[in-house]
Amino acid sequence: MAHLRCDFFSDALGLSTSMTVILPQASGNQIGIESVAQATEPPVLYLLHGLSDDDTIWLRHTSIERYAAQRGLAVVMPQVHRSFYADEAYGMKFWTFLSEELPAVVGRFFRVSERREDSYVAGLSMGGYGAFKWALRRPGRFAAAASLSGVLDLDRRVREDDTGLFRPVFGDRPVAGSDDDLLALLGRAGADLPRLYVACGTEDVLYADNRSFVAACAAAGIAVTTDFGPGEHEWGYWDARIQNVLTWMFPPQP
């Protein structure tokens, strides 16, 4: 695999930002690594970080490069700070950056597939929320979307917050019923959604949020693959679950 830290200017944000990218490279000589490369443009996974993280965090705390190498998968990891992947009330347009500018930049910089059937999104915690918001608001872009320990009932978190965490992001605008509310988006979803996958540990503080989301999917008649079991909000859990996610996204061929 090729590993790149890409620094570039974002017109949507009005500043220079970064993304970490890994690209497939077939090699039969690298000891201990099983790697393949696609004959054509490789599929791409947009892999989103959590609240306290940045674009390097998945490489630092998991073996995502090794897992992607086995599948000939390109992985794009953008940096969005603590934005909840939103156009901030008192800040920058991170939703516009993510959903519009980033795929266009990736398409110009790298040889990856732009077909829906080759495009995937996943994330953890705040990034799980971002992955599902992107998938539900732009359903025609992705074949599948996965959330690990996601903040999937954001309205509840905003209402119960006494730290001011969400104030710069949402200001006084309500989350409930808006395009930032995943539960509301489920109610407005059409029939052509990507496949959805929800994983959360039963000891995670966000477990109830994830159960609420799955119940809302059932009420809306939306199929979702679930992975609930022992686990906390920590990297050992996410490293294990991202492997399950990739197997679900790319099942072994007979």
Tens digits of per-residue pLDDT, 128-166?
A: 999 999 999 999 999 999 999 999 999 999 999 999 999
Place of tokens 């705390």: 61
* Pairwise CA distance, residues 25 & 198, whole Å: 30
Q: Supply the mean pLDDT for the chain.
A: 95
∠ Cα 97 236 207 (to 5°)? 70
Asked if 142 and 117 count as a contact pair (C-beta separation under 8 A), the reply is no
Q: Is residue 174 part of a domain?
A: yes
Given a cut of 90, is residue 27 above it in pLDDT? no
Residue 158 Cα to chain centre, angstroms: 20
pLDDT in tens, 36-51: 766 689 999 999 999 9
Amino acid at 15: L
In angstroms, what CA-CA distances link 72 with 3, 24, 65, 215, 250? 13, 5, 10, 35, 11
The backbone torsions φ and ψ at residue 74, rounded to the nearest 5 degrees and listed phi first, read -85, 140
Neighbours of 45 (CB within 10 A): 30
Whether residue 106 has pLDDT greater than 90: yes
- Rounded mean pLDDT, 172-199: 95
In a domain, 96, yes or no: yes
Q: Tell me, yes or no, whether 145 lies in a domain.
A: yes
Structural domain contains residue 46: yes
Pick the closest to residue 242 from 102, 82, 65, 118 (CA basis): 65
CB 48 within 8 A of CB 121: yes
C-alpha span between 85 and 172 (Å, rounded): 17
pLDDT at 254 over 70: no
| Helix (H), strand (E) counts: the chain | 10, 8
100 lies in some domain: yes
> Side chain identity at 108, as an amino acid letter?
R
- Start-to-end Cα distance in the chain: 25
Q: Using the structure block, give the residue that is written with the tokens 């679900």.
A: 248
Residues spanned by the domain of 53: 2-249
Condensed to tens digits (0 to 9), the pLDDT of residues 8-19 reads 999 999 999 999
Q: Is residue 62 over pLDDT 80?
A: yes
- Report the predicted TM-score, pTM, of the whole model to 2 decimal places: 0.96
Residue 35 resides in a domain: yes
Q: Which residue has the tokens 């978190």?
A: 157
- CATH of residue 217: 3.40.50.1820
Q: Is residue 154 part of a domain?
A: yes
Is residue 254 domain-resident? no
Q: Quote the pLDDT of residue 33.
A: 73
User: Alpha-carbon distance 64 to 77, whole Å?
Assistant: 11
Q: How many distinct structural domains can be found in the chain?
A: 1
Nearest 5 degrees, angle CA 234-CA 238-CA 239?
A: 115
